[in-house]
């Protein structure tokens, strides 16, 4: 296994609070939430970021979108709304180099983000 915190979480070697899981993604509560509901959707495959995705990753990436939709229903925010964000690289604010999406809900989000 790579020395990657999210690979360790996906593998169950670091504990997390699960929200949703299927063949392609694992979703769990963020350790430091910035919204009332803050879930991380991570790909089970280790991909560094959106900067390194390949055409062969399209199924995985599409499944992330469907997972977000399912999580919204699970959390009861499908009608009120949510935000899905993937920080990429240093200017994007990425701190963990394993592709992941922040699912944020439970308050009105601001635009533009900081
Ligand atoms: P990034 O800054 O790369 O966009 O997002 C990384 C996210 O991972 C942060 O929101 C941070 O709180 C979360 N995080 C980092 N380490 C852990 C951990 O060990 N467990 C959980 N649940 N979240 C983590
Ligand atoms: Zn990884």
Residue 1 has pLDDT above 80, yes or no: no
Catalytic residue annotation: 100
For residue 10, the model assigns a pLDDT of: 98
CA–CA separation, 36 and 55 (whole Å): 34
Q: What is the dihedral of CA 61, 4, 17, 62, to 10 degrees?
A: 0
- pLDDT digit string (tens) for 5-27? 999 999 999 999 999 999 999 99
* Continuous H helices in the chain: 5-10, 58-75, 89-92
pTM: 0.98
How many A from CA of 55 to the centre of ligand 1? 26
**Closest ligand 1 atom to 92 CA:** 4
For residue 114, the model assigns a pLDDT of: 85
DSSP symbols for 39-59: EEEEESS----GGG--GGGHH
- pLDDT digit string (tens) for 53-89? 999 999 999 999 999 999 999 999 999 999 999 999 9
Q: What is the dihedral of CA 14, 20, 22, 25, to 10 degrees?
A: -60
| Mean pLDDT computed over 89-98 | 98
- pLDDT digit string (tens) for 100-112? 999 999 999 999 9
**Closest ligand 1 atom to 38 CA:** 10
Protein residues with CB under 6 Å of any ligand 1 atom: 5, 14, 16, 28-32, 40, 87, 93-96
Q: Are strands 18-21 and 100-105 parallel, antiparallel or unpaired?
A: unpaired
For residue 30, the model assigns a pLDDT of: 98
100 contacts 40 by C-beta, under 8 angstroms: yes
């Amino acid at each position: 296994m790579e020395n990657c915190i999210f690979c360790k979480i996906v593998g169950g070697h670091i504990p997390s609070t699960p929200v949703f899981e299927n063949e392609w993604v694992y979703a769990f509560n963020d350790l430091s939430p910035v919204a009332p509901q803050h879930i991380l959707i991570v790909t089970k495959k280790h991909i560094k970021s959106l900067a390194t995705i390949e055409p062969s990753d399209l199924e995985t990436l599409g499944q992330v979108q469907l997972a977000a939709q399912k999580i919204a229903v699970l959390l009861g925010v499908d009608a009120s709304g949510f935000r899905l964000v993937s920080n990429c690289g240093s200017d994007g604010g990425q701190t963990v180099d394993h592709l992941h999406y922040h699912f944020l809900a439970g308050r009105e989000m601001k635009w533009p983000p900081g």
